Chains A and B, each alone.
Chain A
């Protein structure tokens, strides 16, 4: 763990204890995020991306969810070991989060301004009017006129609501911004605007970014490093360059195969066959084994661990793809 590390997640295990089964949402993942670094977390729906993000804020819905083991070290201190009051000081202040669906993430009966003011006052020792001024500034920063302070969420469009949420998240200058699929609920035309906004502000305020998405293109544009998550585990990670140029894990390749491309003439897309295994009933071996074209005997019985294959490129696979495959 270097001097420059902001967040370090170590061996995080999160489970949802349902009435009839236990769902293993996150299975012992580890990663770090450096100060000012932009990291993408990619995976399909149900891979445990959101759960991972919520764990960093200790906000996994409990019950039924619980962080079973692991450490989340932020600025050298373990978040999970802190008291509830101490964690609250981190939420919104050191780590802020933008949620997936702006339509439902704003309180419909509170003015947008008051919702920003709330977070300002929680973490700064300022008076009401000062906080309101700050909230207006934040609205201006994300491109909304400050006069709209007193309006309610239903008076804003989806893209504007996401801007409000961004303003709210950035109001206390967080060190880490977690953006959980910030654009997937928006129109394509708005998506680019919102991403540009996040990126620009991130640079301006110098914070780290954990971008959760299922869109590899977005990650390539925005991030320094990427982590591919599958069934609660990270299967491949590394710098954008390393991973995109030299895909090692068959799942990553499958993800790329599922995107239509304009530059290569193909008859049809090559999607991954089958479905993600039921997280309440994960196979003994590699979770991807059943869908994997490269599976070997070993995959059925043992779970592969992340291993460094040089240059910080990590992959969890017994039979990784060959160079240039």
Chain B
């Protein structure tokens, strides 16, 4: 198990490095002169040259890429062209907020989604199923920023029970969390429904029923656990999707998170910030995916077996998989 985790961790670092190289290279093609971004269009050629030397902009591509990696290893994410402040500090100030809101949103979404999806699957074709399917498809089809504005309209403008924008405490988080929660629960509901539907047709569910087990226990202890892996995958996808698109929700609620920070940088062509922002978001996603991969092993012993305790068990696991 430990060996698997180390292996995955190494693999994650390699993938992440490739991603960094990829994004770094992409941003190389940014039009315009970075020095002018730093000093403005009116700067003199001498001043521009001075800044190019200061930021090392004249160095060849490969040197700058190497320097960026060296910086990353020291925990330095570079310096913003616009504010001339270290990016690491700015991100450290914003990331916790983004992550907290995302975490609560996904938590709320997964609780509601798993419950709704299970009900939907167990009562397939019932009225409840139809209503839940309708709502979850709606959540999948509506843009997050629009849902956010709808919430603001209802709860902040009309009912005036919650603040609309800003981030000064828990009350301010309710609407963003609800927005993410609605979207996440939609995806989770749909995934749970199809996954549970698949599982409750399996023979072992019939076996459990033939033992005289109560139906809701059959669903919880036999069906849900078997259905959980695709649900978990869906959760990690939702989390990453939200982290990437966090800017949409953050911009509606004016949350000073990492999304707004990167968006601002994109508009001002502040490429170091864009690069490091994307790298941090990708790193977060990689970690989530790794954690989920490890969680698989605790849910399904067959996966745990393939994660390796020596060759023999790997074979039996394969045989079991093939027999299905």
- Complex-state Cα separation, A270 to B162, whole angstroms: 82
Q: Is the CB of B301 within 8 A of A152?
A: yes
| Interface residues in A83-118 (C-beta closer than 8 Å to B) | 88-93, 96-97, 99, 101, 103-110, 118
- Complex-state Cα separation, A247 to B209, whole angstroms: 38
Which of A103, A105, A122, A154 is B212 in contact with, Cβ under 8 Å?
A122
In the complex, identify which listed stretch (B182-190, B284-292, B312-320) lies at the interface while the others stay far away.
Answer: B312-320
A241 to chain B: closest CB distance in Å?
A: 32
- Size of interface on A: residues with Cβ below 8 Å to B: 32
Q: Is the CB of B320 within 8 A of A153?
A: yes
Q: Which residues of A contact B222 (CB under 8 A)?
A: 107, 110
* A165 interface contact, C-beta 8 A: yes
Chain B residue, CB-CB nearest to A90: B212
A168-B313 contact, Cβ under 8 Å, with A105-B204, A109-B300: no
* B94 interface contact, C-beta 8 A: no
Q: Which residues of A contact B305 (CB under 8 A)?
A: 154-155
Q: Is the CB of B204 within 8 A of A92?
A: no
* A219 interface contact, C-beta 8 A: no
- Size of interface on B: residues with Cβ below 8 Å to A: 30
- Complex-state Cα separation, A104 to B206, whole angstroms: 10
* B112 interface contact, C-beta 8 A: no
B282 to chain A: closest CB distance in Å?
A: 32
A152-B302 contact, Cβ under 8 Å, with A104-B202, A105-B206, A110-B222: yes
Q: Which residues of A contact B211 (CB under 8 A)?
A: 91-92, 118-119, 122, 168
A108-B212 contact, Cβ under 8 Å, with A154-B305, A155-B313: no
- Complex-state Cα separation, A199 to B38, whole angstroms: 87
- Complex-state Cα separation, A293 to B206, whole angstroms: 40
Interface mask (A137-152 → B, CB under 8 Å = 1, otherwise 0): 0000000000000001
Q: Is the CB of A109 within 8 A of B323?
A: no
Which of A101, A107, A118 is B226 in contact with, Cβ under 8 Å?
A107
Q: Which residues of A contact B300 (CB under 8 A)?
A: 108-109
* A123 interface contact, C-beta 8 A: yes
Q: Which residues of B contact A91 (CB under 8 A)?
A: 209-212
Interface mask (B211-249 → A, CB under 8 Å = 1, otherwise 0): 111100000011001100000000000000000000000
Q: Is the CB of A105 within 8 A of B302?
A: no
Q: Which residues of B contact A107 (CB under 8 A)?
A: 204, 207-208, 222, 226
Which of A63, A99, A109, A152 is B207 in contact with, Cβ under 8 Å?
A99
Among the interface residues A57, A110, A154, which one has the most CB atoms of the partner chain B within 10 A?
A154
Interface mask (A255-269 → B, CB under 8 Å = 1, otherwise 0): 000000000000000
Which of A88, A97, A108 is B204 in contact with, Cβ under 8 Å?
A108
A99-B203 contact, Cβ under 8 Å, with A59-B210, A92-B211, A118-B213: yes
Among the interface residues A88, A89, A90, which one has the most CB atoms of the partner chain B within 10 A?
A88
* B267 interface contact, C-beta 8 A: no
A and B contact pairs by CB, cutoff 8 A, 22 listed: A59-B206, A88-B212, A92-B210, A99-B203, A99-B210, A103-B323, A104-B203, A104-B204, A104-B324, A105-B203, A105-B206, A106-B204, A106-B207, A108-B226, A108-B300, A110-B221, A110-B222, A118-B208, A119-B211, A122-B212, A154-B321, A155-B313
Given contacts A97-B210, A105-B206, A152-B301, 12 further A-B contacts (CB under 8 A): A88-B213, A99-B210, A104-B202, A107-B207, A108-B320, A109-B299, A109-B300, A118-B211, A119-B212, A122-B211, A153-B320, A154-B305
